[in-house]
């Protein structure tokens, strides 16, 4: 498979204009993770606000990453371990605070589950807190009362020209100490030197031991330009500015048209080769699932046949020491599920509908069984699989039929 890492902006990219994840986006991102691609969310939002999105996309289950504060902090979604962190030089905070006081700008920053601001009545500050699910706290002396140095500071105003002037001043006088990001007309974000989504992405690439050519990045804003240009393939959303689109390899549909899912289907899922199904990754990702708890391991997968093994032990046996029929059915459904996933088109997903089995002989504790799934019918709306389960000596234990329903993804 060409791509090993998918880096995604959040607002304006995977979230629609209602700030929601569509069903199609969720289904597509779960499926590509099942195929072995790691996913990283890259956003200006704080980590606290990205965790619910990461959980909805199952990044914690598939060892994904969270790049927050526009690249100032990178963590593992599963463990919360910090992989990269670059906070603002504490000596600079009083200087930024004085600029805010002198120009009448509102100064804010994130701390755990709070947005701390010099004006919590400001509608943009209130919107930021609501969007991120955070509480508000008024603080007129931010630099004095900080208990830890922030990943970013935000200057807020409806006066876009004033913010641009402050941005120009900071870039002239604090170059090499801090960087600025003008993410929208009323926010100027201040971060540590050389902080950016592209830099955090390069840290992940190095950690994973892959090349930048194996990265797909999708975004819509100026803060995404670096990662779009640096990735092996960079994609601009249909709702991106013309400048961002010019930096991308191609432009997809808008965030209200599931553009990110469409781009992933085009760039990744249509390129999956049947002989390149990552069985090691699929087996590793099964830990903590029913498949992992039963000890099921995929051993072979093509469009014509899928195989897996399962031990007969305390997890899968009856009290009498023989393989439980329910475990055999679970093995059959697991095999047919992968087979249908391979057979599906990029814009389709599969739901199990029916399983029925005939148990013809027994397998004893201490043995292992091998399941072999072959397609009986691969149709437009349904897949029917025959699964035969054998002992290690080749004796037939069960013959199972599994019916899966094929559905089109919807927004």
Question: Residue 171 in contact with residue 125, Cβ under 8 Å?
Answer: no
Q: How many helices (H) and strands (E) in the chain?
A: 13, 20
- Identify whether residues 300 and 381 lie together within a single domain: yes
- Where residue 161 sits, what CATH number does that domain have? 3.30.1240.10
pLDDT in tens, 259-316: 999 899 888 765 554 445 677 778 887 878 899 999 999 988 888 899 999 999 999 9
Question: Residue 46 in contact with residue 18, Cβ under 8 Å?
Answer: no
Compute CA distances 391 → 17, 314, 331, 362, whole Å.
54, 17, 13, 8
In 17-51, which positions are buried (b, 16+ CB within 10 angstroms) versus exposed (e)? eeeebbebbbbbbbbbbbbbbbbbbbbbbbbbbbb
Domain that holds residue 58: 5-77+196-271
Q: Can you tell me whether residue 202 is helix, strand or coil?
A: helix
Q: For the CA atoms of 283, 284, 290, 296, what is the dihedral angle to 10 degrees?
A: 40
pLDDT bracket for residue 55 (50, 70, 90): very high
Would you say residue 263 lies in a domain? yes
CB-based burial label for 167 (10 Å; 0-12, 13-18, 19+): middle
- Whose tokens are 């289950």? That residue is 61
Per-residue confidence (pLDDT) for residue 273, from 0 to 100: 45
Would you say residue 95 lies in a domain? yes
Decide which of 169, 192, 215 is a domain's last residue. Answer: 192
Question: Residue 71 in contact with residue 195, Cβ under 8 Å?
Answer: yes
Cα separation, 124 vs 52, whole angstroms: 22
- Identify whether residues 315 and 371 lie together within a single domain: yes
Per-residue confidence (pLDDT) for residue 1, from 0 to 100: 64
Picking from 58, 76, 56, the residue whose alpha carbon sits closest to that of residue 67 is 76
Would you say residue 346 lies in a domain? yes
In the chain, the percentage of residues whose pLDDT exceeds 90 is 72
- Identify whether residues 62 and 202 lie together within a single domain: yes
E strands, 43-186, in order: 65-68, 73-76, 82-85, 106-111, 114-117, 135-138, 152-156, 178-184
- Identify whether residues 404 and 279 lie together within a single domain: yes
- Identify whether residues 281 and 389 lie together within a single domain: yes
Decide which of 271, 286, 307 is a domain's last residue. Answer: 271
pLDDT in tens, 313-355: 999 999 989 999 999 999 999 999 999 988 888 778 899 999 9
Question: Residue 98 in contact with residue 80, Cβ under 8 Å?
Answer: no
Per-residue confidence (pLDDT) for residue 275, from 0 to 100: 46
| pTM of model > 0.85 | no
- Identify whether residues 12 and 66 lie together within a single domain: yes
Would you say residue 130 lies in a domain? yes
Would you say residue 84 lies in a domain? no
In the chain, the percentage of residues whose pLDDT exceeds 70 is 97
State the DSSP code for 322: B
Picking from 314, 352, 307, the residue whose alpha carbon sits closest to that of residue 331 is 307
- Identify whether residues 69 and 120 lie together within a single domain: no
- Identify whether residues 263 and 281 lie together within a single domain: no
Would you say residue 82 lies in a domain? no
Ramachandran assignment for 260, one of left (phi > 0), alpha (psi -120 to 50 degrees), beta (any other): alpha
Q: 138 is written with which tokens? A: 């008024």
- Identify whether residues 404 and 299 lie together within a single domain: yes
Question: Residue 183 in contact with residue 221, Cβ under 8 Å?
Answer: yes
* Torsions phi, psi for 374 (to 5 deg): -130, 145
Higher pLDDT, 68 or 149: 68
- Where residue 261 sits, what CATH number does that domain have? 3.40.50.1000
Q: 407 is written with which tokens? A: 């559905």
- Identify whether residues 149 and 12 lie together within a single domain: no
Picking from 42, 14, 7, 18, the residue whose alpha carbon sits closest to that of residue 28 is 14
Cα separation, 255 vs 20, whole angstroms: 10
- Where residue 350 sits, what CATH number does that domain have? 3.10.129.10
- Identify whether residues 204 and 71 lie together within a single domain: yes
Active-site positions read 333
- Average pLDDT of the chain, as a whole number: 91
Question: Residue 322 in contact with residue 363, Cβ under 8 Å?
Answer: yes
Question: Residue 268 in contact with residue 37, Cβ under 8 Å?
Answer: yes
- Identify whether residues 267 and 289 lie together within a single domain: no
Q: 104 is written with which tokens? A: 């009448």
Structural domain count, the chain = 3
CB-based burial label for 80 (10 Å; 0-12, 13-18, 19+): exposed
pLDDT in tens, 178-187: 888 877 889 8
Picking from 68, 223, 81, the residue whose alpha carbon sits closest to that of residue 150 is 68
Would you say residue 117 lies in a domain? yes
Decide which of 226, 242, 271 is a domain's last residue. Answer: 271
Would you say residue 85 lies in a domain? no
State the DSSP code for 185: T
């Amino acid at each position: 498979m060409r791509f090993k890492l998918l880096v995604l902006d959040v607002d304006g990219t995977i979230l629609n204009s209602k700030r929601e994840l569509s069903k199609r986006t969720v289904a597509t991102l779960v499926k590509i993770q099942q195929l072995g691609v790691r996913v990283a969310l890259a956003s200006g939002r704080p980590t606290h606000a990205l965790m619910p999105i990461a959980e909805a996309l199952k990044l914690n289950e598939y060892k994904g990453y969270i790049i927050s504060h526009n690249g100032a902090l990178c963590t593992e979604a599963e463990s919360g371990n910090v992989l990269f962190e670059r906070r603002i030089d504490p000596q600079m905070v009083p200087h930024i605070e004085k600029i805010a006081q002198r120009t009448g700008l509102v100064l804010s920053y994130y701390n755990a589950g709070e947005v701390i601001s010099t004006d919590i009545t400001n509608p943009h500050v209130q919107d930021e807190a609501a969007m991120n699910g955070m509480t508000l706290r008024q603080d007129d002396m931010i630099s004095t009362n900080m208990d830890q140095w922030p990943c970013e500071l935000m200057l807020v105003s409806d006066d876009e020209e004033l913010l641009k002037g402050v941005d120009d001043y900071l870039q002239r006088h604090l170059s090499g100490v801090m960087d600025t990001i003008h993410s929208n007309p009323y926010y100027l974000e201040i971060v540590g030197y050389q902080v950016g989504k592209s830099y955090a992405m390069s840290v992940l690439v190095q950690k994973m031991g892959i090349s930048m050519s194996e990265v797909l990045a999708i975004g819509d804003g100026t803060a995404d330009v670096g990662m779009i240009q640096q990735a092996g393939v960079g994609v601009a959303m249909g709702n991106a500015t013309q400048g961002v689109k010019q930096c991308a390899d191609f432009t997809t549909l808008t965030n209200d048209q599931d553009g990110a899912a469409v781009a992933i289907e085009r760039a990744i899922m249509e390129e999956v080769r049947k002989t390149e199904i990552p069985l090691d990754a699929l087996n590793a990702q099964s830990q903590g699932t029913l498949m992992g708890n039963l000890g099921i391991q995929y051993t072979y997968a093509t469009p014509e046949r899928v195989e897996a093994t399962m031990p007969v032990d305390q997890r899968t046996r009856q009290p009498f020491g023989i393989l439980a029929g329910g475990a055999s059915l679970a093995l059959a459904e697991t095999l047919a599920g992968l087979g249908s996933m391979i057979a599906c088109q990029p814009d389709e997903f599969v739901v199990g509908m029916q399983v029925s089995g005939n148990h013809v002989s027994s397998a004893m504790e201490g043995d292992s069984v091998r399941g072999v799934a072959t397609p009986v019918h691969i149709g437009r709306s349904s897949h029917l699989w025959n699964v035969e389960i054998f002992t290690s000596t080749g004796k037939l234990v069960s013959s199972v039929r599994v019916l899966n329903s094929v559905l089109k993804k919807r927004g």
